[in-house]
Chains A and B, each alone.
Chain A
Amino acid sequence: MTETTGANGALKPFTKLATGIEGLDVIAEGGLPAGRTTLVGGTAGSGKTIFAAQFLAEGIRIGEKGVFITFEESPAELSRNLMTLGWDVPAWEAAGAWTYVDGSPDEEATDVVGDFDLGALLARITRAVKKSGATRVSIDSVNALFSRLPNPEKLRGELYRISRALRQLGATTLVTAERLDDYGEVSRYGIEEFVADNVILLRNTLQDERRRRTVEILKFRGTAHQRGEFPFTIASEKGVVVLPLSAMKLTQRSSTTRVTSGIPRLDEMLGGGYFRDSIILLSGATGTGKTLTVTHFVAGGVAQGDRCILFAFEESREQLMRNAKSWGHDFDEMERGGLLRIIPVYPHAMPLEDHLLRMRWAIEEFKPRRVVVDSLSALERVTALRSFREFMLGLTSLLKHREIAGMVTSTAPSILGGHSITEKHISTLTDTILLLRYVEINGELRRGLLVLKMRGSRHDTTIREYTIEADGMHVGEPFRNTSGILSGNITHGRAEDEEEAPGEGPQVQVE
C-alpha cells in the first residue's frame, strides 16, 4: 500500500472523523482516519482511558453513538470515574448512546485448557455495535487481556480479526495499549503491528520537576497529520484538551488599523499607534514604568470602548488598581463598566499549558480587543525554555487569530539594560518591541524610551526621554550625544550639548 503524507499525494486521502477532542483535530488535520483502527499508546497514568472515553463522549454530543469495551476497570468503576469529568455515562447508557462491553476480569478463576479464540468477544462487540448503531468504538486497554492470557501471538491475530470486523461495520475504533517507557517501544506485545495502521502516543514526563503531558501522532496511514509532540492537559468538564500551539499557522492577515497606546506622543513615535492585531513586547528594568505603560494601554483602550483583559502574573489586583488610581485611572470603575477584566494568575499553581488554556477560555468568553500579560518574566522563572516558547507561540497565535492587540511585559535583568532570556526567545514572535531604559547622564538617572522594532510601519528610531508624572508618562525629546544606552555602556558627547534646549532634536529620523 502506498503511503501519502499530504493531501497532494497521488492517493485520495482517507476521510477523517472529527473526534471533537479540543485541539486533537487540528494536529490530526481533521480527525482520526474514518472507519479505521487507531492505537493509542501510553504509560500508566498518561490519560489513555480518559482519551478513549472522550472519543465516545464527544461523539455523543453530536449524536454519534459509541461502544466502550473495557478489559481493566468494571463499567461501574469507569462510570464513577468519568462522572468526575462531567460525563453522565449512566444517562447515556439509558438513552442507548453508550454501550459497555464488559471484559473486566472475572471473579471466578479461569483455567486454560488448549487453544482458544476471541470469538465471544467479537460476537458481543458486533452485537453491541449493530444494536446501538454505533460509529465509534473504544477498546481499553488490550494489555489487560494480554497479561491474563497465554499466547500473545494468538491474541494479536484475534485483535486483528476484531479490528477488521469493526472496519466492515463502518466503525472508527480507538484501541489503547500500555507502554513501559515514554520513549521506548510503541506498545508491549507489539500490538501496533497487528492492530492499527494509525498510532497516537500519549506521554506523561517529568521535565524540570514538572509534569508535562504530550500527544504525538506517530503515524496515520495514507493521510496527513502534524508531526511532533503537542502539550495537552486534562481539565474537569472538558477532559483532554490538546494545545496545538506550533501547529497553528502564524500567517494571519495583518491589520492596518491603528490603536492608541494611550500615550499621545508614543502614538506619534509609532506612526499613529500600534496595529490592531500586533503583539507588543514591552521590556524594561524594574521601576522604569512598565506597569504605567500597561495602564495607559488599558485606559486608552477602555476610553475607545475596547474590552481589555489584564492577566496579572506578578502584582495583585489591589496593587494594580492602586497604581492605576495614583495615575488617575480607575480600573475598578472600568471593571464595573464591563470593559476591563483583571485576572490574577499564579505562575506556580499549574503547568504553563494549563495557564494558556485558562487564558484562552477567558479570552473566548470575554472577547477582548486588547490583552495584557504582565509579566512574562514571572513565567520564565517557573518553566522550561521549551514549554515557555510553546506557550508564547500559543498565546501569540491565539491573539492573532482573534485580531487582538496583545501587550506582554518583560523585566530586563539589569538596571541599565541588556536582554532577558524571555526577549531572546520571543522577539521573533512579536511585531513591536518597546524598550524602557534607565539612562545615567552626569550622575543623574533618567529614563529613555525606544521603539526597537515595529513590523510593517515607519517609526521613530530615536531614544526619547520620558518622565513619570502624577498623571502618567510624558514622552519628551531624544537624548542627544549620548550613545550606548541599549548596551548599558553610556558615553556622552560634549557637555554643552546637554545644555541645548529641548525641541532641537533631529528633524529627519533615521529609519
Chain B
Amino acid sequence: MTVRLVLYVAGDTPRSRSARATVAWLADGGVGERVEVAVVDVIDQPERAETDRVLLTPTLLRQGPGSARRVVGDLGDRARVAEALGLLAAGPTPTEPTR
C-alpha cells in the first residue's frame, strides 16, 4: 500500500530545500514502504494551506492510509521524520546535515 504524503513549503528557502530533499529520499525508497509525495508551495497555492489548516512551513502531512500525522520543520533528521510519520525504516537512515 502506498503512503500518501503532502509537503507544504513557502518559497525556495534553505528549509524548503532541506525538506524537499528528505521527501525525495522517502519517495526514493528511503523507507521500507512505498511513498508518494506531492509538494505544495503555499505562496502559489495558499488555498491548499487553508484547506489542510497548515500554519507552519515546511509541514509534511501523512494523509493515509492510517491515522493522519503532521511533522513540521526542515525535516533534516530523516530517522525522526520516518518515525514521526510511522514509516518503517529500510535499514540505516543517513541523516543529511541541514544548516
Q: Does B27 contact A (CB under 8 A)?
A: no
Compute how far the CA of A127 lies from the CA of B49 in the bound complex, rounded to whole angstroms.
10
Tell whether A501 is near chain B: CB-to-CB under 8 Å: no
Residue positions of B touching A, CB distance < 8 A: 8-11, 13, 15, 18, 42-43, 46-47, 49-50, 53-59, 67-77, 80-81, 84, 98-99
Among A108, A117, A128, A145: residue with most chain B CB under 10 A: A117
**Cβ of A108 and Cβ of B73 under 8 Å apart?**
no
In the bound complex, do residue A112 and residue B72 qualify as a contact, i.e. CB atoms below 8 Å apart?
yes
> In the complex, A106 Cα to B71 Cα: how many Å?
12
Is A111 within 8 A of B55, CB to CB?
Answer: no
What are 8 sample pairs from A and B whose C-beta atoms fall under 8 A apart? A101-B50, A102-B53, A108-B70, A109-B69, A113-B72, A113-B81, A120-B56, A122-B10
A105 to chain B, nearest CB (A): 10
A100 and chain B: residue at smallest CB distance? B50
Question: Does A124 lie within 8 Å of B70, measured CB to CB?
Answer: no
B72 touches A111 (CB 8 A): yes
Residues in A neighbouring B43, C-beta threshold 8 A? 119, 123
Question: Which A70-106 residues sit within 8 Å CB-CB of chain B?
Answer: 101-103, 106
Query: Which residues in window 315-351 of A have CB below 8 A to B?
Result: none
Cβ contact of B71, chosen from A102, A113, A117, A145, cutoff 8 A = A113
Task: Knowing A116-B56, A119-B57, A124-B49 are in contact, say whether A111-B74 is a contact too (CB < 8 A).
Answer: no
A126 at the interface (CB under 8 A from B): yes
Indicate if the CB atoms of B74 and A115 lie closer than 8 Å: yes
Q: Which of A110, A118, A122, A127 contacts B70 (CB 8 A)?
A: A110
Per DSSP, chain A at the interface is: mixed
A 54-78 to B, binary, CB cutoff 8 A, 1 in contact else 0: 0000000000000000000000000
- Beyond A111-B84, A113-B81, A127-B50, whether A106 also contacts B70 by CB under 8 A is yes
Chain B residue numbers with a CB within 8 Å of A117 are: 10, 13, 15, 56-57
Given contacts A110-B71, A113-B80, A116-B73, contact A121 B15 (CB under 8 A): no
Which residue on chain A has the smallest CB distance to residue B83?
A: A111
Task: Give Cα A126–Cα B50 distance, bound, in whole angstroms.
Answer: 11
- Contact, CB under 8 Å: A114 / B47: no
Q: Chain A's nearest CB lies how many Å from the CB of B3? A: 15
Q: Are B49 and A114 in contact (CB under 8 A)?
A: no
Complex interface: chain B residues within 8 A of A114 (CB): 15, 18, 73-77, 98
Inter-chain contact B10/A115, CB cutoff 8 Å = no
**Chain B residue with minimal CB distance to A119?**
B10
B54: which A residues are within 8 A, CB to CB? 120, 124
Give bound CA distance, A443 to B57, whole Å.
91
Q: How far, in whole Å, are A113 and B50 apart by their CA atoms in the complex?
A: 22
Interface residues, chain A, with chain B CB atoms under 8 Å away: 101-103, 106-124, 126-128, 145, 149
When distances are taken between beta carbons in the complex, the residues of chain B under 8 Å from A101 are 50
Compute how far the CA of A121 lies from the CA of B47 in the bound complex, rounded to whole angstroms. Answer: 11
New A-B contacts (10) at CB < 8 Å, excluding given A113-B81, A114-B18, A123-B42: A108-B67, A108-B68, A113-B75, A113-B84, A115-B73, A115-B98, A120-B46, A120-B55, A121-B56, A122-B10
Shortest beta-carbon distance from B48 to chain A in Å = 9
B98 surroundings in chain A (CB, below 8 A) = 114-115
The answer to whether A113 and B74 touch across the interface, beta carbons within 8 angstroms, is: yes
CB distance from A178 to the nearest CB of B (A): 18
Bound form: Cα–Cα A145–B71 in Å: 16
Output the least CB separation between A133 and chain B (Å): 16
A113 to B69 CA separation, bound complex (whole angstroms): 13
Residues of B within 8 A of A120 (CB): 8, 10, 42, 46, 49, 54-57, 59
Find chain A residues with CB under 8 A from B75 CB: 113-114
Q: Which residues of the partner chain B approach A112 to less than 8 Å between Cβ atoms?
A: 71-73
A128 to B11, CA, bound (A): 19
Across the two chains, which residue of chain B brings its CB closest to A102? Answer: B53
From known contacts A114-B18, A116-B72, infer whether A124 and B67 are also in contact, taking CB-CB under 8 Å. Answer: no
> Roughly how many angstroms separate A108 CA and B73 CA in the complex, as a whole number?
16
Q: Which of A103, A111, A118, A122 has the most CB of B within 10 A?
A: A111
Nearest A-chain residue to B10, judged by Cβ: A119
Q: What residue of chain A has the Cβ atom nearest to residue B15's Cβ?
A: A115
Can you name the residue of chain B whose Cβ is closest to the Cβ of A158?
Answer: B56
In the bound assembly, the distance between CA atoms of A154 and B1 in angstroms comes to 38
Question: Is A124 a contact partner of B15 (Cβ separation < 8 A)?
Answer: no
Within the complex, the shortest CB–CB distance from B62 to chain A, in Å, comes to 9
Q: Which residues of B contact A109 (CB under 8 A)?
A: 69-70
Contact of B53 among A106, A111, A123 (CB under 8 A): A106
Per the bound structure, the CA–CA distance linking A115 and B15 in Å amounts to 7
B84 to chain A, nearest CB (A): 4
> Nearest 10 CB-CB pairs, A to B?
A119-B10, A114-B73, A114-B74, A119-B57, A111-B84, A127-B46, A123-B42, A123-B46, A113-B73, A120-B54
Q: CA separation between A126 and B69, bound complex, in Å? A: 26
Across the interface, A111 reaches (CB within 8 A) one of B11, B47, B80, namely B80
Given that A114-B15, A119-B42, A120-B57 are contacting pairs, would A108 and B10 also be in contact in the complex, using a CB cutoff of 8 Å? Answer: no
Name the residue among A106, A107, A118, A149 with the largest chain B CB count within 10 angstroms.
A106
From A117, which residue of chain B is reached at the shortest CB distance? B57
A115, B59: Cα distance in complex, Å? 11
CA distance A123 to B10 in the complex (A): 8
Q: Which residues of A contact B68 (CB under 8 A)?
A: 107-108
B74: chain A residues within 8 A (beta carbon): 113-116
Q: How far is the CA of A498 from the CA of B74 in the complex (A)?
A: 101
User: A124 contacts which of B50, B58, B76, B81 (Cβ < 8 Å)?
Assistant: B50
